[in-house]
Structure 1
Amino acid sequence: ATAHEGAVRGPVGHGTVATVDAVSPAWAERFARALAPLRTDRAAGEGQVRVSVPLPQSARLLDELGLARATPASLMARWADAADDTRALGGRVAAVLGAGPHGPVGVDLGAEGPHLLVEGPPAAGRTELLRAVVASLAAAERPDRLGIVLIDGRDTAGAGGAHGEGLGVCTDVPHVTTHLTANDPVRMREFAQSLSAELKRRAELLGRSDFTEWHTGRALTGRMVAQRAAGAGAGADDSDLESPPSATIRLRPGAARRQAEAVPPLPRLVVVVDDLDALVHPSLGSPGRPAAGSVIRALEAVARDGERLGVHLVAATGLGGRAAESEPARLATLRVTLDAVTTGPDAPAPGRGRLVRADGRAVPFQGGRVTGRIPRTATLRPTVVPLEWHRMGDPPARRPVRELGNGPTDLALLASALERAAREVSATEVPSLL
């Protein structure tokens, strides 16, 4: 509406005298459609408008990570951002699970965890979701600040196909230090002893502090030593001891720096277990049955003390399985429940489920697939879909892509880029537990 030039300006009664422009209904409809995608500019401090969209039938993990073209440069930029994050001292442990109604759905094991439990019926996509967790953890942090340990509870040796390989397809990721398959009692006992020794070493190193406090003090000491060294001047004495008027003996910056460097860095450690049920109650014919108890006891220690020591547990079990009452399952503060696979043209791919956070909030999501072979040119093809006018302001729907049986998997492409990025930053590998 526009004010008439001859009208009296200012309030008259309950409104303002004005003349309405004579526009056609078609013009008004076009104008309304043009305004549909716009959102009001909210004041600072107010929450942004979150538009909900239907979950896709399938999701690609690299798209949800924003790494449609995974390159060493993009990964190093993410690692640099994690190093500057004061809330992730000691290492970032953030993982993206898949696509949700408001964007990617992820978990932060450091802030929300410390442990994650994945439950679901057979063929629901539990193993693929664990692979996605491994891939997204590696994309978020350097391999010298994060180590990943893989345990296949079920013996997958000799099984054919990508699904039969379990977590073994993730061993090319440079963050993976150890891969244990429950088919060798000797190796299983050795692993249990090594994991228990690692927990004991961390407890002795941290003392009464927890993982975050220890790294906070380490960072503060480094800054104080740097400031003292900068103010010492070139003519300062090279001796390691100061001789103040009091009887207190203090280390000079050079000695304090050497003392801090003598303590090796303490990275975060994530233990990923596929099929926890097979370890809690192994079958009679399982070759690893005699040593399964020792591995479970080591995992129980991780579940109890891992939060203070910087060790996290991600485990997958069946719905209502035997492992539901085990300590690793009961102490998990983050839980994922996957739906049973359905058939039909509109049925979602395996991996559809919901994430339940520690405060009880549930978020539905479609798990991101990372072992699919998706052609590079598929995303460049135009896609025409019907669009209803009342959803014109919603984000664009994800375009379906067709997987082909040729070419490397997304996980292989990401692992190659991670390996090259690790060499570029000269990252030291975390020692193996075997």
Structure 2
Amino acid sequence: AAPLPQSARLLDELGLARATPASLMARWADAADDPEALGGRARAVLGAGPHGPVTADLVADGPHLLIEGPAGSGRTELLRAVVASLAAAERPDRLGMVLIDGRDGVGTGNGRNEGLRVCVEIPHVTTHLIANDPVRMREFAQSLSAELKRRAELLGRTDFAQWHAGRVAPGRVIAQRTPPGAGDIEAPPSSTLRLRPGAAARQRAEAVPPLPRLVVVVDDLDALVSPALGAPGRPAAGSVTRALEAVAREGERLGVHLVAAAGTDGRTADSEPARRATLRIRLAAPQQGPDEPAPGRGELAHLDAPAVGFQAGRVTGRIPRTATQRPTVVPLDWHRMGDPPTRRPVRELGNGPTDLALLASAVERAARQVAAAQVPSLL
């Protein structure tokens, strides 16, 4: 185990220090062959841990994730990291994301006031809602409820994974084999493909539109559960909250996941999203000082497992794509020979695109190359 770093870069923890379409397509191909993630992978790398990157798997350990922390603890930046790492793990036609900024006043300025709007360039993001327009908020609540109803009717009595397993089984393709000694010995082996007897079932399955996973990401959930007096979105906050509660109750069977961030004042403790969250992150209050860690220091806890500390990976920093640190030689005592290498701080530049913009560009190019259709918007 290595000590947690003072800060972490998300692309380094993802193994995408130089994000390229080829590296992303390789990850997507690996996800398509994963039998544990039928219908789409929803695995988010949170940051650097004592034994390497810390990951939250919404399929295996979820279905829902709740992030709690005081103001300034890095909740919004961690949500951005979740969105970015989910996009790196799965192609956009197998995973869609809906972003909700529950606090009014975001998305209209620069820097910290941008909220989740900085993630809209990622092709996986289909909808972005800011809780400052009651009409748009009610439309979103109705659309999200209609999507849950559509999925329930499509799945019937099965769940999301079983439904996709039934679509995959009839479509298996095998190579035609020639019996030994049959035909001309000099003739090349046949490469003709034949379908299993379930070809008709496969054609019927292909007639049904694909059903991707859907992740609803909410920042400032407490501002929706108990909006402030005079908030522009207060008249419609209840309808959005009820739609999110339906996601928390029914989302596991329907392939819909909820990732929400809230404060530590207890306003969301009795809400349905908080009760249904099997994955929980607790962020520490920020500390001032040159030797203190950057915002984003926290612990990930889930059922039947001890909490794991981590330093959240930053994704909106402006860090050069090329390595600027040259190899260095340092004295090493013999009794420290087996220790992991110490992490060196990376100098962040004040110009150039952010890591999130670089990743979004690579994801967009990769999605074009694999001809991935975007998930329809809810608005």
Q: TM-score, normalised by structure 2?
A: 0.91
Q: Is the 8 A contact 2:167 2:202 kept in 1?
A: no
Structure 1 residues 256-265 or 113-122, which shifts more?
A: 256-265
The one-letter amino acid of 1:167's match is: L
Residues 385, 282 of structure 1: alpha-carbon distance in 2 compared, 3 angstrom cutoff: farther
Shift in Å, 1:383: 4.7
> Which residue of 191, 208, 224 maps to 1:263?
208
Root-mean-square deviation over aligned CA pairs: 1.7
CA distance in 2 between partners of 1:321 and 1:159 (Å): 28
Question: 1:227-248, CA deviations, whole angstroms, 9 ceiling, x for partnerless residues?
Answer: 6x979xxxxxxxxxxxxxxxxx
Q: Is the 8 A contact 2:170 2:199 kept in 1?
A: no
Confirm whether residue 212 of structure 1 aligns to residue 161 of structure 2: yes
CA distance in 2 between partners of 1:148 and 1:319 (Å): 25
Shift in Å, 1:155: 1.5
Confirm whether residue 281 of structure 1 aligns to residue 226 of structure 2: yes
Confirm whether residue 309 of structure 1 aligns to residue 254 of structure 2: yes
CA distance in 1 between partners of 2:230 and 2:337 (Å): 58
Q: Is the 8 A contact 2:170 2:198 kept in 1?
A: no
Confirm whether residue 201 of structure 1 aligns to residue 201 of structure 2: no
Q: How does 1:395-414 map to 2 (within 5 A)?
A: 395-414=340-359
Residues 55, 253 of structure 1: alpha-carbon distance in 2 compared, 3 angstrom cutoff: closer
Structure 2 counterpart SS, 1:261: helix
Structure 2 counterpart SS, 1:192: helix
CA distance in 2 between partners of 1:76 and 1:320 (Å): 42
Q: How does 1:231-246 map to 2 (within 5 A)?
A: none
Question: 1:76-117, CA deviations, whole angstroms, 9 ceiling, x for partnerless residues?
Answer: 000000001111110000000000000000011001000000
Shift in Å, 1:394: 1.5
Aligned partner of 1:120 in structure 2 is 69
Residues 402, 205 of structure 1: alpha-carbon distance in 2 compared, 3 angstrom cutoff: same
The one-letter amino acid of 1:57's match is: Q
CA distance in 1 between partners of 2:329 and 2:228 (Å): 51
Structure 2 counterpart SS, 1:273: strand
Aligned partner of 1:365 in structure 2 is 310
Aligned partner of 2:335 in structure 1 is 390
Aligned partner of 1:272 in structure 2 is 217
Confirm whether residue 63 of structure 1 aligns to residue 12 of structure 2: yes
CA distance in 1 between partners of 2:331 and 2:216 (Å): 45
Q: Is the 8 A contact 1:117 1:329 kept in 2?
A: yes
Query: Which of the two has higher C-alpha Rg?
Result: 1
CA distance in 1 between partners of 2:126 and 2:176 (Å): 38
Shift in Å, 1:403: 1.2
Q: Is the 8 A contact 1:268 1:310 kept in 2?
A: yes
Confirm whether residue 140 of structure 1 aligns to residue 85 of structure 2: no
Q: How does 1:323-402 map to 2 (within 5 A)?
A: 323-377=268-322, 379-383=324-328, 387-402=332-347
Confirm whether residue 222 of structure 1 aligns to residue 171 of structure 2: yes
Structure 1 unmatched ranges of 5 or more: 1-51, 232-251
Aligned partner of 2:185 in structure 1 is none
CA distance in 2 between partners of 1:356 and 1:383 (Å): 37
CA distance in 1 between partners of 2:334 and 2:267 (Å): 50
> Which residue of 20, 30, 36 maps to 1:81?
30
CA distance in 1 between partners of 2:361 and 2:167 (Å): 33
Q: Matched residues, percent identical? A: 79
Aligned partner of 2:263 in structure 1 is 318
CA distance in 2 between partners of 1:304 and 1:184 (Å): 26
Question: How many residue pairs get matched?
Answer: 360
CA distance in 2 between partners of 1:433 and 1:205 (Å): 18
Q: Is the 8 A contact 1:113 1:334 kept in 2?
A: yes
Structure 2 unmatched ranges of 5 or more: 178-196
CA distance in 1 between partners of 2:176 and 2:152 (Å): 34
Q: TM-score, normalised by structure 1?
A: 0.80
